[in-house]
Structure 1
Amino acid sequence: MGMTVNIYEAKTQLSKLVARAEAGEEITLTRHGRPVARIAPLPDRGGRREPGAWRGKVVIGEDFEAFTPDDAEAWFGR
């Protein structure tokens, strides 16, 4: 279980609390002794991005850049 901090203290120590969360700790924020929020580490996003990974998997229609009067009506009411 992580640490518990009241909101007033959290406001003055936010950078330190975020650093602790980055290190894997979960911090519960309280107001008047009641838990109200949590600062927690985000899950690892996994490996590095690979440029071009979607190459050949996405097809863009021939009319992709066409903007018709019907489109203008739908978008802008003109």
Structure 2
Amino acid sequence: MALSLEKRSDNAFSVGSFAAKTYFAELLRMVENGSVITITRNGHDVATVQSPETKENKKALAAWRGLCAIGKELSSRQKPVSLDEIQEWKNEGRK
């Protein structure tokens, strides 16, 4: 029996729990090389295996996309951002 992976995106795959148990060492090598493996049981996602670096990169990318969206929103404004608005956004993020 060969390892059967379902490709989800460029570097993300899913595998059934039985195959994950059988080919665990091979899956770990894939994770070390940057892949993200989702383990499924009866067609439902039950776990994700990824390196700590991959997880941090995803968080950083999400933060960057959020900043870009804010930048686009601010660039379309007619007036500059006031200090009061910045303080209000800061306090809003703490809720």
TM bin, normalised by shorter chain, reads 0.5 to 0.7
- Residues 33-78 of structure 1 show CA distances to partners (whole Å, capped at 9, x for unaligned) of 000001101228xxxxxxxxxxxxxxxxxxxxxxxxxxxxxxxxxx
Relative contact order, higher structure (CA 8 A, sep 6+): 1
**SS of the counterpart of 2:52?**
coil
Bigger radius of gyration among the two = 1
Partner of 1:24: 34
Moved over 3 A (4+): none
Identity, % of aligned pairs?
32
Partner of 2:87: none
**SS of the counterpart of 1:38?**
strand
Partner of 2:43: 33
Distance 1:43 1:30 in 2: 23
CA offset at residue 20 of structure 1? 0.3
**SS of the counterpart of 1:24?**
coil
**SS of the counterpart of 2:53?**
coil
5+ unaligned residues in a row in structure 1: which ranges? 45-78
- Residues 1-58 of structure 1 show CA distances to partners (whole Å, capped at 9, x for unaligned) of 31100000000000000000000000000000000001101228xxxxxxxxxxxxxx
